[in-house]
Amino acid sequence: MPGLLRGVARTAVVAGTATAVSNRVSRRQAGRWAQQDYEQEQQQYAQPQYAQPQAPPPPPASQTAPADEMTGKIEQLKQLADLKAQGVLTDAEFEDQKRRLLA
């Protein structure tokens, strides 16, 4: 019986040591994986801020339409003034076209 008891005790010691080592390795790996997950999440949150700057929201359509219309009228007035300066339009023709444009 002493030989059997000695064998059982030796097996228990080896199994206990193996379990302790296995648990330590598992905890270490879990810690590394958690650290990697944390770093990946930090990179994902940091990248969009630098990759794409936030664009300001577009102004309401009602405000942009008159501005675009006014810009177009100003450009047409400048063209008319250039034509008048070149002598293509007379003063009367320029005034007539300006009145039509601004009406």
**Sequence-separated (6 or more) residues with CB below 8 Å from residue 94:** 80, 81, 83, 84
The span from the CA of 64 to the CA of 72, in Å, is 12
The span from the CA of 90 to the CA of 83, in Å, is 9
Main-chain dihedrals φ then ψ at residue 58, nearest 5 degrees: -65, 145
**What is the per-residue pLDDT for 25?**
81
**What is the per-residue pLDDT for 103?**
79
Q: What is the 3-state secondary structure (H, E, C) of 13-42?
A: HHHHHHHHHHHHHHHHHHHHHHHHHHHHHH
pLDDT along the chain (103 residues), means of 10: 74 77 82 88 67 62 65 88 89 90 82
**What is the per-residue pLDDT for 69?**
82
* pTM score, whole prediction: 0.36
**What is the per-residue pLDDT for 40?**
85
Question: Any idea what DSSP says for residue 88?
Answer: S
